[in-house]
Chain A
Amino acid sequence: MKLNDAPGLDRKDLLGLEELSEREIRLILDTAREFREVLDRPIKTVPAMRGFTIANLFYESSTRTRMSFELAQKRLTADSIGLAVTASSVKKGESLRDTARNIEAMRVDMIVMRHSQSGAPHRLAAQIDAHVVNAGDGCHEHPTQGLLDLYTLLENLGDLRGKRIVIIGDIAHSRVARSNIHGLRRMGAQVGVCGPPTLIPVGIEDLGVTVYPTIEEALAEADAINVLRIQLERIGVPLFPSTREYARLFGVTPARLEVAKREVLVLHPGPINRNVELDSRVADAPGAVILSQVTNGVAIRMAVTYLLAQKTMKAAHALA
């Protein structure tokens, strides 16, 4: 490991992939590659972050992202605590400023925040000195998911320059889609989106993506597809007629994939609605890298945590 030589990220927070340079993304991916090796060892822990305190602040329910972050923190020997904040405290109008002040008062070094509202981690980050990692904000970004998708794609495709990646599903409400779009474009990939017109948001082309009118056209050109989890309703409004019709028109099935490239990669951020957006036969086939994504996610979150904390850690060691 040459980790101690890593320059660290020259930013306090990781809020989105939109603002990351290609150099920063490569630094994270390269660092993750080293941590990924650690995860295959019998002893999966590196004593890199002793005494560093992280609070996982999840305003929205999550199992795997939260577990992935906690695992990454434990692997780095950081001290971490989880605070599951119920959705009701948001409805009660809890001020993000109050939240920030309270956490600050507890001398926490880093906050990992998941929130149902776009921009919530940005507001928190602007008001506290602690590092903030966005673990998914509303329909905006989910940067560590975007990074682990990039990692998985690079692992399998080598280079993303000129490769065509298509994101399928509810683009309008997906933070995974936005982080993927920004990250993939930064790495030189061509990005397409595909889904029912009600789930394709106004002006998505301005983010530099192609909108495919049919899933057949999308699949025919793709080197990899990222299939999003579909939800029938958003804030009580049905966005398409039924999951059955969605599966019929946009479900990724073996029959549909016949027009695709033989070696097309299939990603899914999980959890899968089996046989709705993704046919089980596709999800469990060799082309699906869904479980690799999950493992890579831990390594990515280790890398992000480690790199953001570098400066703080070095300053602390200088003091000690």
Chain B
Amino acid sequence: MHSRDLLISGGRLVDPEADELRRADLLIRDGKVVALSPNINADVPVLDATGLIVSPGFIDLHVHFREPGQEWKEDIDSGSRCAAAGGFTTVCAMPNTDPPLHDQESVRFVVERAREVGLVDLHVVGAVTTDLAGTILSPMGEMAAAGCVAFSDDGRPILDSGLMRRALEYSRQFYLPIVQHAEDTGLTRGGAMNESAISTKLGLTGMHSSAEEIVVARDLALLPLTGGRYHVAHTSCARTIELLRRARAEGLPVSCEVTPHHLALDEQAVSDCDYDANYKMNPPLRSVVDREAMIQGCVDGTIDAIATDHAPHLPDEKEIGFSAAPFGVIGLETAFSVAATTLLPHMSLRDLLRLLTTGPASVFGFKDRGRLAPGLRGDVVLFDSESEAVYSVESTHSKSRNSAFDGMRLQGKIVATVLEGRVVFGESR
């Protein structure tokens, strides 16, 4: 059994809700933070953090680990390794596995598997409907008892307004949010990229951004009626952010996330990549204006969290033509450096870390993590925020290789990840 005691010494500690960086040691005992102060002496293993920043472990609200059912793409073991390498100590797995995570048995299976692997604290976002079929509500109460932190039919939008109403009403009793994959599929059928002059030039069927906006607008109209909590997965367009900004100002219980790729890339990347399906994701990479709105949403606090939508697919599955290829990219290992590269010109490191820690923690109601404070989980990440390197996907721990950032120069490097006092990534130096 690994020790759950650890002294992280010599680093600069940053708590996203505290004022500034401070040089201090951090002591974890039995998996929990017990002390933060300069020059702690304790008879426990030491992790030297000299020259590094020490932050609460990152929290990802949105991953696909493909287990059960599609273990050739990823499994809980390989997905957990990606999470640890990316500085994530908490991940929330989406239910679109095979079978889906739509009852207490399937939820327990995945949570148990992740515990055996022991590299990341995995939580489940349970299905809203049985078989993700969009008809019958799943047993949310049983799944909540089994540890679900939210409900979503991610990959498939909840299009029926009556069903969405019932989902928001029913989930209210568990204080858990409904996570919407906002896409009016009547507008996106056969689509492969954002609809614009670029899709027209490339001859690819477009997925207009109004498809996202329409569903979000409809859902917001249901909130006062239902009293439910609402979270928008992978927001991608300016008008969605504007709708959510207004809803927030009205005091509606809304939250949203953005992926690193929607912060860093726009649809021009699809034009430049010569039909490389590693730039095909849903929602698609949007316009420059949309991308700027995502950054602005992070700056002004409309966006709560950066979530990866880590979605592994094997090279041969992606290489069947751009239109036929499945949507999605991996992202856990590059999330921090992509976010740092994209956002640090616009915001402080502390504000950036909020999007990876306290922001997502409050969305899914994690009260025992997200900050560095006595009594909280000893989940910590050590990084160098300034070193630059060219990312190579060959270094990934994923079973897949579908990164949109292969060959890109990125800033920021995860050096070590600590889960409840255990070093799960990196070496003691």
Interface residues of A (CB under 8 A from B): 18, 90, 93-98, 115-120, 122-123, 126, 137-141, 172, 175, 178, 201-207, 235, 237
User: Which residue, of B198, B321, B324, has the highest number of chain A Cβ atoms within 10 A?
Assistant: B321
Q: A93-B320, A95-B320, A118-B204 are in contact. Are A235 and B275 (CB under 8 A)?
A: no
> What's the minimum C-beta distance from A202 to chain B, rounded to whole angstroms?
5
Do A206 and B322 touch (CB < 8 A)?
A: no
Q: A93-B317, A96-B320 are in contact. Are A235 and B203 (CB under 8 A)?
A: no
Q: Which of B190, B196, B203, B274 contacts A203 (CB 8 A)?
A: B196
Do A235 and B190 touch (CB < 8 A)?
A: yes
Q: Which of B274, B316, B317, B322 contacts A117 (CB 8 A)?
A: B322
> What's the minimum C-beta distance from B197 to chain A, rounded to whole angstroms?
3
Q: Which of B196, B200, B315, B322 contacts A207 (CB 8 A)?
A: B200
What A residues does B195 contact at CB under 8 A? 202
Interface size on B, residues (CB 8 A): 27
What B residues does A237 contact at CB under 8 A? 189
Q: In the complex, A244→B197 CA distance in Å?
A: 30
Interface SS of B by simple majority:
loop
Residues 287-329 of B contacting A (Cβ, < 8 Å): 315-317, 319-324
Do A96 and B197 touch (CB < 8 A)?
A: no
Do B197 and A203 touch (CB < 8 A)?
A: yes
Interface residues of B (CB under 8 A from A): 189-190, 195-206, 208, 274-276, 315-317, 319-324
Q: Which of B189, B203, B315 contacts A141 (CB 8 A)?
A: B203
Do A123 and B203 touch (CB < 8 A)?
A: no
Q: Could you list 17 A-B pairs, sorted by A, with CB under 8 Å?
A: A95-B316, A116-B323, A117-B321, A117-B323, A118-B203, A118-B323, A119-B321, A122-B274, A122-B275, A123-B319, A123-B321, A137-B203, A139-B205, A140-B204, A141-B203, A202-B206, A203-B200
> What's the minimum C-beta distance from B171 to chain A, rounded to whole angstroms?
34
Q: In the complex, A122→B199 CA distance in Å?
A: 16
Do A203 and B198 touch (CB < 8 A)?
A: yes
What A residues does B189 contact at CB under 8 A? 235, 237
What B residues does A117 contact at CB under 8 A? 321-324
> What's the minimum C-beta distance from B254 to chain A, rounded to whole angstroms?
29
Q: In the complex, A117→B192 CA distance in Å?
A: 11
Do A140 and B203 touch (CB < 8 A)?
A: yes
> What's the minimum C-beta distance from B270 to chain A, rounded to whole angstroms?
10
Q: Which of B196, B197, B203, B320 contacts A94 (CB 8 A)?
A: B320
Nearest chain A residue, comparing its CB with the CB of B275:
A119
Do A139 and B196 touch (CB < 8 A)?
A: no
Q: A95-B320, A97-B315, A123-B319 are in contact. Are A118 and B275 (CB under 8 A)?
A: yes
> What's the minimum C-beta distance from A269 to chain B, rounded to whole angstroms?
15
Nearest chain B residue, comparing its CB with the CB of A182:
B201
> What's the minimum C-beta distance from B315 to chain A, rounded to whole angstroms?
7
Q: A97-B315, A235-B189 are in contact. Are A202 and B320 (CB under 8 A)?
A: no
> What's the minimum C-beta distance from B213 to chain A, rounded to whole angstroms?
16
What A residues does B316 contact at CB under 8 A? 95, 97-98
Q: In the complex, A119→B276 CA distance in Å?
A: 9
Nearest chain A residue, comparing its CB with the CB of B319:
A97
Q: Which of B203, B319, B321 contacts A178 (CB 8 A)?
A: B203
> What's the minimum C-beta distance from A59 to chain B, rounded to whole angstroms?
9
Nearest chain A residue, comparing its CB with the CB of B190:
A235
What A residues does B276 contact at CB under 8 A? 123
